């Protein structure tokens, strides 16, 4: 394994550990403090490849409708085959429509869409704002 791959794998391990600290019931006295403070169990992030300044994107499907995303949640790390299991986070604009690009993202919603990706395929990851998972999309009725 190359030094860059080892560094990225270590980054995934740290991210996974921090994400585990967020899990738990905020009302439970035995839950970690971060679960009580943050009220979210996901640290969203984007992945980048060595040869591109643009974030890695993929498509998912929910209810027969496809969506594109650049945002992920780390579900598991498979050290033996140098891969990670990711769930797709669905991006939305402030108007409640699917986001067409990173700059349009107002909110993220978790999905059950999973993908496995080899760690050596990527050069870096960038964590996103956790508040993207807390935002509600408020669409007022039209008169």
How far is CA 113 from its chain centroid? 12
Distances (CA, A) of 74 to 20, 77, 93: 10, 8, 23
- Per-residue pLDDT at 21: 78
Asked whether the beta carbons of 80 and 23 are under 8 A apart, the reply is no
pLDDT interval class at 2 (50, 70, 90)? very low
User: Once rounded to an integer, what is the mean pLDDT over residues 38-48?
Assistant: 85
How many angstroms separate the CA atoms of 143 and 133, rounded?
29
pLDDT of amino acid 26: 59
**pLDDT tens across 80-108, in order?**
999 999 999 999 999 889 998 989 999 99
- Residue 33: beta bridge partners? none
Give the other-Cβ count within 10 Å of 88's Cβ: 25
Predicted TM-score (pTM) above 0.75? yes
| pLDDT, tens only, 53-63 | 999 999 999 98
pLDDT value at position 3? 41
Structure tokens at 74: 């780390």
| 141: confidence class by pLDDT, cuts 50, 70, 90 | low
Whether the per-residue pLDDT at 1 is higher than 50: the answer is: no
Q: Residues 134, 42: contact at Cβ < 8 Å?
A: no
């Amino acid at each position: 394994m190359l030094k860059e791959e080892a560094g990225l794998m270590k980054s995934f391990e740290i991210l996974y550990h921090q994400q585990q600290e967020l899990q738990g019931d905020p009302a439970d006295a035995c839950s970690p403090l971060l679960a009580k403070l943050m009220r979210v169990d996901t640290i969203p992030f984007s992945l980048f490849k060595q040869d591109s300044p643009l974030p890695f994107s993929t498509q998912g499907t929910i209810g027969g409708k496809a969506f594109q995303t650049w945002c992920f949640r780390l579900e598991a790390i498979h050290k033996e085959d140098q891969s990670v299991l990711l769930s797709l986070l669905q991006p939305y604009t402030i108007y409640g429509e699917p986001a067409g690009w990173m700059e349009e993202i107002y909110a993220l919603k978790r999905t059950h869409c999973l993908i496995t990706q080899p760690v050596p395929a990527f050069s870096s990851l960038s964590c996103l704002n956790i508040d993207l998972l807390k935002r509600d999309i408020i669409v007022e009725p039209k008169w």
